Chains A and B, each alone.
Chain A
Amino acid sequence: MDAFLNQLWIARWPLLDGLITTLQISIVAIVIGTIIGVLVGVQLTYGSYFSRMPFRLYVEIMRGTPVLVSVLAAFYIPSVMGLSLTAKMAGILALSLFAGAHIAELTRGSLQAIPVGQIEAGRSIGLTFKQIVVNVLFPQALRSALPPWINTGVELIKGSSLLSLIGVAELLLNTQEVIGRNFMAIQFYVFSGVIYLVINIALDQTARIFDRR
């Protein structure tokens, strides 16, 4: 145990850096993913059949492919298109698109759960469609969408560990590098596992509190 604590003290900065990168990536991805998801979700619920098609295709592709494939595709494809993205940017791109598809589906689900009468009532008092969406539908949809939205955050923190495979120095890759130096595989994998657990359980409990309301 002493040896582990000693090694942990030596490795504190890379691990802390990794943790910060993990959080940073997840936060940026959930912000971009939410913007994409809400816009696509509204389109999927209220768009005409043809305007829904491209968005449905996007959601189906993202939900049908593993996150790892999206991550690798986002890492390799932009460079041949003449765009140079860093590994971190590519990872954020992939995770945002993944989160966007999930949030689009849960936005659609919560919007469809709202009784049609609410839209009709809004229209009858003379609100425009935009006003109905913002003032009538969103506040109601928010209540049922909030817990699964927080769970998408848990999925993103878990998914960000996949970026270690394209060389982003997040928590897991830095843990692996530390293990490469001191060969304490169990101790350090368990240590970073506990960090993931603490963050995700905190998020999960928050989701449960909102779920009860």
Chain B
Amino acid sequence: MGYSLHFDAVWSNFHSLLSGLAIGLVMALFSLIAGTVIGLLGAFISRGSVAGKWLVGFYVMLIRNLPLLVIVLLLYFALPQLGIRLDKYKSFVWALSLYSGAYLIEVFRGGLSSVPAGQVEAARAIGLTRLQTNLYVIMPIMLRNVLPSLSNTFIGIFKDSSIAAAIAIPELTFEARRINTNTFRVVETWLIVSCMYVVTCSAMSFVLQRIERRFPKF
């Protein structure tokens, strides 16, 4: 063996790991917001008409069965061929949004079907319009019901942000690989980085569970 652990080399680079973690979290947050927009639109469109349902189903099937890395590379390396040139952060956040959007459509679709029919009928009975019913009755109930899956998706998006390393975005995994090749402290680097991911994910799920508890369940 002859390998002894020396964490100094990694600690002296710890600030770049932290900034990498921050980049990953920010990209995940932006993707969650854009993905939620895609998810809500998709869920309502697929409820609207048969054609809409077919179209949204096609999108979900397409995205869910493609590796995220293929989508990322397609957006970053292939789109310039069509004259669309995005910087790497933008193209990655777009890729992650499209990817998580497909998963969020499923989440919101499930949420919509979990809204009790009586609530919708009651809203119609007191004379709310379709839009008002959607906005004031269906949306709040649905959002509360999907909160647990939403937080799981957010954690998933954060983990998927590691794939940004493939197009040289300096997030946590990329920085870890850089420290790994610069210092050769292989075991220490990956140990610390894994711990950082696990701790961040656990902390996120703890905070999100706390938030869920503050809202009453329907």
Q: Which residue of A lies closest to B200 (CB)?
A: A64
Q: For the complex, is B100 an interface residue (Cβ under 8 Å from A)?
A: no
Minimum CB–CB distance for B27 against chain A, Å: 13
Q: For the complex, is B77 an interface residue (Cβ under 8 Å from A)?
A: yes
Partner of B66, one of A61, A73, A79, A158: A158
A158 touches B186 (CB 8 A): no
Count residues on chain B whose CB falls below 8 Å from chain A CBs. 39
Q: For the complex, is A99 an interface residue (Cβ under 8 Å from B)?
A: no
Minimum CB–CB distance for B132 against chain A, Å: 37
List of A residues within 8 angstroms of B165 by Cβ: 68, 165
A66 to B176: give the CA distance in the assembly, Å: 13
| Chain B 1-45: CB-based contact to A (< 8 A → 1; otherwise 0) | 101000000000000000000000000000000000000000000
Minimum CB–CB distance for B98 against chain A, Å: 13
Partner of A76, one of B1, B64, B82, B180: B180
List of A residues within 8 angstroms of B147 by Cβ: none
Partner of B193, one of A69, A186, A193: A69
Q: For the complex, is A55 an interface residue (Cβ under 8 Å from B)?
A: no
Q: For the complex, is A192 an interface residue (Cβ under 8 Å from B)?
A: yes
Minimum CB–CB distance for A150 against chain B, Å: 13
List of A residues within 8 angstroms of B209 by Cβ: none
Chain A residues 69-121 with CB under 8 Å of chain B are: 69, 72-73, 76-77, 79-82
Q: Which of A6-14, A122-130, A194-202 contacts B (4 or more CB under 8 A)?
A: A194-202
Q: For the complex, is B139 an interface residue (Cβ under 8 Å from A)?
A: no
Partner of A204, one of B65, B69, B201: B65
B65 touches A201 (CB 8 A): yes
- Of A67, A72, A172, A190, chain B has the most CB atoms within 10 Å of the CB of A72
B66 touches A186 (CB 8 A): no
A200 to B63: give the CA distance in the assembly, Å: 11
A79 to B3: give the CA distance in the assembly, Å: 11
Q: Which of B86-94, B116-124, B155-163 contacts A (4 or more CB under 8 A)?
A: B155-163
Chain A positions within 8 Å of B, measured between CB atoms, are 60-61, 63-69, 72-73, 76-77, 79-82, 154, 157-159, 161-162, 164-165, 172, 176, 179, 185-186, 189-190, 192-193, 196-197, 200-201, 204
Since A60-B198, A189-B73, A204-B65 are in contact, a sample of 15 more A-B pairs with Cβ atoms closer than 8 Å, ordered by chain A residue number, is A60-B202, A61-B198, A63-B201, A64-B197, A66-B173, A69-B194, A72-B190, A77-B186, A77-B187, A157-B67, A161-B69, A162-B69, A164-B69, A192-B70, A200-B64
Can you give 24 contacting A-B residue pairs, CB < 8 Å?
A60-B198, A60-B202, A63-B201, A65-B159, A65-B194, A66-B159, A68-B173, A69-B173, A72-B173, A72-B190, A73-B190, A76-B186, A80-B187, A157-B67, A158-B67, A158-B68, A161-B69, A162-B69, A189-B78, A190-B78, A196-B67, A197-B62, A201-B61, A204-B65
The 4 closest A-B pairs by CB, nearest first: A64-B198, A200-B65, A66-B162, A161-B67
